[in-house]
C-alpha cells in the first residue's frame, strides 16, 4: 500500500492540472462550473495529500525516495523524483488545504469579474506549480 501512494504522488498536482485544462475549454459563461471544477481538483489533491500524510505517520522514521528518468541524452540521463517523509507530507497537506481555502474565498471575491472562469483556470495552474 505504501509503495502505491509513493509511486502515484504525481496525482496530487495532476488533479488541479486536469481541472485547469478542462476549465480553459469551457465557455466563459459557465462561471459556476469553472469554479466547481477548480474546487473539486483541489479537494482531490487535498484528499491524496492526507492519505500520503497518514501513511507516513504509521511507521517511525518513514522516508521513501522515488526517482525516474525524465530525459536521456547520449549516455547521460536526467533523473527527477520526490521524497515522501512526514515533513514533506505535512507540507503537502498544508499547501493543499490553504489552496482550497483560497479557492473558496475567491468565489465571492471574484464574483463580479468578467474573467471569473479564466481566473480559476490560472489559480489551478498556480496550485500545480506550488505543489
- List pLDDT tens digits, range 56-95: 988 888 888 888 898 899 899 999 888 899 999 999 999 9
Per-residue pLDDT band at 122 (split at 50, 70, 90): very high
How far apart, in whole angstroms, are the C-alpha atoms of residue 52 and residue 36?
A: 24
Identify whether the C-beta of residue 13 lies closer than 8 Å to the C-beta of residue 71. no
- Residue 97 pLDDT exceeds 90: yes
Identify whether the C-beta of residue 66 lies closer than 8 Å to the C-beta of residue 84. yes
How far apart, in whole angstroms, are the C-alpha atoms of residue 84 and residue 49?
A: 11
How far apart, in whole angstroms, are the C-alpha atoms of residue 13 and residue 128?
A: 5
* Model pTM score: 0.87
User: If we measure between CA atoms, which residue out of 12, 19, 82 comes closest to residue 48?
Assistant: 12
Amino acid at each position: 500500500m505504501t509503495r502505491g501512494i509513493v509511486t502515484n504522488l504525481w496525482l496530487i498536482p495532476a488533479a488541479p492540472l486536469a481541472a485547469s485544462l478542462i476549465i480553459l475549454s469551457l465557455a466563459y459563461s459557465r462561471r459556476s462550473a469553472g469554479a466547481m471544477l477548480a474546487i473539486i481538483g483541489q479537494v482531490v489533491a487535498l484528499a491524496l495529500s492526507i492519505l500520503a500524510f497518514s501513511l507516513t505517520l504509521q511507521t517511525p522514521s518513514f522516508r521513501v525516495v522515488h526517482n525516474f528518468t525524465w530525459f536521456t541524452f547520449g549516455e547521460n540521463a536526467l533523473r527527477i523524483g520526490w521524497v515522501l517523509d512526514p515533513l514533506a507530507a505535512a507540507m503537502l497537506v498544508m499547501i493543499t488545504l490553504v489552496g482550497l481555502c483560497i479557492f473558496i474565498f475567491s468565489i465571492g471575491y471574484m464574483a463580479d469579474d468578467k474573467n471569473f472562469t479564466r481566473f480559476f483556470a490560472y489559480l489551478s495552474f498556480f496550485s500545480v506549480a506550488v505543489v
